[in-house]
Structure 1
Amino acid sequence: MTLNVDIETVFRFRKDGESMSVLVNFLKDIRDTGKLTHAARHSGLSYRHAWNLLTRWSEFFGVALVRRHKGKGTALTPFGEKLVWAGQRMEARLGPQLENLSQELASELVPFLPDNPAVIRVHASHGFAVSKLREILNHTPGMSVDLRYVGNQNSLVSLAHDACDLAGLHLPRGSLRRESAATAKRLLNPRIHRVVGFVSRQMGLMVKRGNPLDVGALEDLANPKLRFVNRDPESGTRQLLEQLLAESGIAPASINGYEQIEFTHAAVAAYVASGMADASFGVEAAARQFGLDFVRLVTEDYYFVCREELLATAPMRRLLDIMRGKEFQDAVAALPGYAAVDTGVIKTIDDAFEGPRRKQPRRRA
């Protein structure tokens, strides 16, 4: 039996002994469509109930959340906009943690259920393609994967200590690849480990729409007028940024806001989009999700690493079929800056870590 658990956030505000829950996604739909009828239908509300909610929220806060424009639909007020951005930042920040908690609960319960299938334990850093794969696995009957979000190097530590079966790893192309690959190799054994191709993704600078500070390269982050928001020190993205800065001779201390951190690609993008920072470093898909401009700096290859014997098991063979299948390939193609590169192709450690420029010997499990 495949069991999935969802844990959702609730935004409840308290004031003078009163409390009020606000449907932030409902407000977001109003912002995105300009139509209260559409937002109400999407949230499963009648038009009358939706309007009553808006009235109650406005009375609670003492300020209107929406404005109605004759012939132009409904728009959020600045306060309503701020609520939406706060909600999006919280969801982006907490999403991976809540998914981890959901998976932990499901993993504890499944052994007590009848006909529970063999489980593949996956540790990988949070990313858009990984999330898409998880969505597909969640609605695939009989497919049970215990996917936990952990940092880039921590996933390999988990694999080395048999805490997972499949570990995510992303390596930059170009001049920094050798250094990153050497770090990863210290935790792997070329005789027993194999690499599964997954995707490539574009990494670079997320900046405000229109790029008002004319950010075009890493050097521009040292502009004293620019406010930066960073990823957490344990993330592979933060480590890649620090490698790029060192290569360019840029001191992190010269970047205003370098110690201000968020924990996901989406969270730093939401931080910039809400006006709290001017730039960040991350994946292109997150920038596009929040309507930001993007300056490409480097391509990363995202892999999975496992012991060779796992490749012969039925659950892993089925997982590989899903990765190679049309549904996942189409999902990756729809992600800005992502590409399905050698997805599901098995390589040795040395062949994979050399990078895609060399012609690779390939085989399928």
Structure 2
Amino acid sequence: MHKVELSYLLSTERSKNALIRNPLMDMLHAVQEEGSISGASRALDLSYRHVWGALKNWEQKLGRTLIVWDKGQHARLTEFGEKLLWAERQAQARLAPQIEALRGDIERAFSTAFDDNAHVLTLYASHDAALSALREQAAPRGLHLDIRFMGSVDAIAALNAGRCMMAGFHALDQPGSKSVAAHAYRGLLKPGLHKLIGFAHRTQGLIVARNNPMGITGLADLKRAGLRYVNRAEGTGTRVLLDELLAQAGMGPTDIHGYPSQEPSHAAVAQAVASGAADAGLGIEAAAREQGLGFVPLTQERYHLVCLKSALPEPQVQALLKELQSPEWQTSLEKLPGYSGKDAQSGKVLSLRATLPWWNYRKEKNNKKEP
């Protein structure tokens, strides 16, 4: 059986004919009505050579003859050609309501592109519940966030490669120059090239079973024999955070059973705990509450947005800053479990060097002068 592929055209006017246009069917119909290839060519406003060649190509692709090519006779459709037109008319009539609905949906989607007051911003970011909430709130206001969730490291790398306009990542407040976060992000972010935008404060902690039956109170409990931990993938901000917290606690990966395991998101970690496949995993409180699970808070961190300095004047970036600074967004943020807009400076352009104090150019300059 031959397969069907659908396509569409953008036009300032809508055709009054078939709901779905197909060039082969248009040609067959024209030949049937006009009785010749030349007549069909004139009706379609195409050259004779084009129509003749296209019909021959279609015959080759379909493995069937479409036109009776007798010299000196009017061109007419073969039985197969007639059946194709009949089948197409049947499909058009039967599927007309669905086709019309689909066309309306596509037109509404494209209307955003032609609306000068609407903006689309592509954002690659570490998984975050607040970003999802922002996407829902901003859309009716004309700001459409095209979000792709991935690890923090990959998100910033995508920004630097030009695959998105903005990236989202998270780290502890004022991480030191020798921190795990500094090691992970310092080579990806450059003062003068990137601009940091405040977004939110959020709590990260251990997602545990409902009512915390194992009595887990902190990282040290993860060393218990038999306790199963579920981790995030390498390169994610939460994996970086875990390694940071382990280092501060004098622990290492070998202290935790399940450290090599990987889940793609906070929601997936929560689902692993909810299903009984794991006893604990580091994640955000919102993911735990959504599954009705317990949550042991460990630390607060800042979630940052970052873009290239050259992108700041772009209308979609300015629309995002305005949305983040709105009272409506501050109210929405405070309603999310484990999130806070207080001191997060949402929508404010921040100093990269002051917020992430990893660079010391004076020291580097002095070192270069040494023989």
TM-score (normalised: structure 2): 0.61
Alpha-carbon distance between aligned partners in 1 of 2:178 and 2:133, rounded to the nearest angstrom:
29
- Whether 1:134 aligns to 2:135 is yes
Alpha-carbon distance between aligned partners in 2 of 1:234 and 1:329, rounded to the nearest angstrom:
29
> Does the 8 Å contact 2:285/2:338 carry over to 1?
yes
Select the residue among 332, 346, 351 that pairs with 2:349.
Answer: 346
> Does the 8 Å contact 1:171/1:177 carry over to 2?
no
> Does the 8 Å contact 1:176/1:243 carry over to 2?
no
- After superposition, give the CA deviation of every residue in 1:301-341 in whole Å (9 maximum; x if it has no partner): 01111122322232222111111113322221111111111
One-letter amino acid of the structure 2 residue matched with residue 123 of structure 1: Y
- After superposition, give the CA deviation of every residue in 1:182-238 in whole Å (9 maximum; x if it has no partner): 532322221132111000111111122222222112111011131222222232111
Aligned match of 1:322: 323
Per-residue deviation, 1:259: 2.9
| Unaligned runs of at least 5 residues, structure 1 | 1-105, 356-365
Aligned match of 1:46: none
Alpha-carbon distance between aligned partners in 1 of 2:156 and 2:111, rounded to the nearest angstrom:
26
Aligned match of 1:257: 258
**2:204 counterpart SS class:** strand
Aligned match of 1:149: 149
Tell me: CA distance 1:176–1:350, structure 2 relative to 1, closer, same or farther (3 Å): closer
Alpha-carbon distance between aligned partners in 2 of 1:281 and 1:306, rounded to the nearest angstrom:
27
> Does the 8 Å contact 1:195/1:347 carry over to 2?
yes
Aligned match of 2:313: 312
1:21-36 equivalences under 5 Å are none
Per-residue deviation, 1:257: 2.6
**1:281 counterpart SS class:** strand
**1:301 counterpart SS class:** strand
> Does the 8 Å contact 2:174/2:356 carry over to 1?
no
Aligned match of 2:200: 199
The farther-off stretch of 196-205 and 182-191 is 182-191
Q: CA RMSD in A?
A: 2.5
Per-residue deviation, 1:110: 5.0
**1:231 counterpart SS class:** coil
Aligned match of 1:231: 232
| Unaligned runs of at least 5 residues, structure 2 | 1-105, 359-371
- After superposition, give the CA deviation of every residue in 1:97-148 in whole Å (9 maximum; x if it has no partner): xxxxxxxxx9xx859964475532211111101111111233333x243322
The farther-off stretch of 175-184 and 329-338 is 175-184
Q: Percent identity?
A: 37
TM-score (normalised: structure 1): 0.62
Larger strand share, 1 or 2: 1
One-letter amino acid of the structure 2 residue matched with residue 347 of structure 1: L
Q: Which has the larger radius of gyration?
A: 2
Aligned match of 1:187: 188
Aligned match of 1:158: 158
> Does the 8 Å contact 1:202/1:296 carry over to 2?
yes
Alpha-carbon distance between aligned partners in 1 of 2:126 and 2:110, rounded to the nearest angstrom:
24
Aligned match of 1:167: 167
